[in-house]
Amino acid sequence: MTVLAFYTLLLAGNATANSAQKELLKLADTKASGEYVRSRFLKAMTTTINPNAAKKVLIIGDSHAQDFLNSILENNYLKGYQITTRYIPTRCQIYLGEDHEKLIAKKDKSLCTTSDNLSQAKEAIAKADVVILSAKWRKWAAKKLPQTIQNMGITEKQKLVVVGVKSFGRVSIKKYLRMSDNQLRKLRNEIDGNQNEVNEIMKKSVSNNVFVNTHQLICGTSSSCPLFTEDLNLITFDGGHLTKKGAQYVGKALFQGKVLSSLK
């Protein structure tokens, strides 16, 4: 029996187990949590663009873009927009340039040759009123964002949004089951040091009218991030991706920033 299974049985027979502990056990099912992250994004990929729609939003990216869509939907933002999506794997990165193939790791070339990319998405980009790029950005792609943006051909009538990186550090649900409510509220995790590097690159390479500084809006200026909301809801189930309550929490934080607040 796994440790997690043991706690499941223990809490099942414990009348005093609180709702936060029971919710944590549900989130320990990473398969179900992962399905939540991607399901609505994948559905939006098959949405046919209505040329007569008043406003159109195109969200492009990897599983972090899937999180971003959930953060919109959990807060009922962008209700006046038609939302479509395009999926570009993290291993391929969001980049538009002739040297893309040279920048991808050799082991990823097969995947990236057959996956979607910005070049294929240019027609859809041209039809959108708002284009949102969201990903687990790597340093090379962050450095080349100015080139990518220039090659996308965004017009003055369109709004471009670039959503920055996020990471909540290592998550241990088994550990949290043994902690008090007060400890959970105060709990903060040190983030991956690489995130700070990528974030600094993006702040310098992208206009502050375009760049959503995800880390700052969620975590503040420190190198650590909260793991639970004030209501004791776990924000991320794996350190990188959001729970349903986490998407609601993060969405509210991101849409308070100046780049996204006008789109609510």
Residue 10 counted as domain residue? no
What is the pLDDT, as a whole number, of residue 29? 78
For strands 224-226 and 188-190, give the pairing. Answer: antiparallel
Residue 180 counted as domain residue? yes
What is the pLDDT, as a whole number, of residue 192? 78
Structure tokens at 101: 């193939």
As a whole number of angstroms, the distance between CA 66 and CA 23 comes to 22
- Show the domain range for 121: 34-261
Residue type, 81: Y
As a whole number of angstroms, the distance between CA 135 and CA 66 comes to 9
What is the pLDDT, as a whole number, of residue 20? 67
**Does residue 201 sit in helix, strand or coil?**
helix
CA distances from 180 to 3, 27, 187 (A): 19, 18, 11
What is the pLDDT, as a whole number, of residue 6? 39
Mean pLDDT by 10 residues, the chain (264 residues): 43 52 75 93 88 87 98 96 97 96 94 96 95 97 97 96 95 88 92 88 95 95 91 93 96 97 88
Which CATH number goes with the domain that contains 145? 3.40.50
Residue 17 counted as domain residue? no
DSSP label at 15? T
As a whole number of angstroms, the distance between CA 20 and CA 169 comes to 20
What is the pLDDT, as a whole number, of residue 60? 98
Residue 7 counted as domain residue? no
> Which residues is 159 bridged to in the sheet?
130
Residue 27 counted as domain residue? no
What is the pLDDT, as a whole number, of residue 18? 58
As a whole number of angstroms, the distance between CA 216 and CA 36 comes to 25
Residue 2 counted as domain residue? no
Count of domains forming the chain = 1
> Which residues is 189 bridged to in the sheet?
225
Residue 227 counted as domain residue? yes
Structure tokens at 242: 């959001």
Residue 5 counted as domain residue? no
DSSP label at 97? S
Q: What phi and psi values does residue 24 have, to the nearest 5 degrees?
A: -60, -40
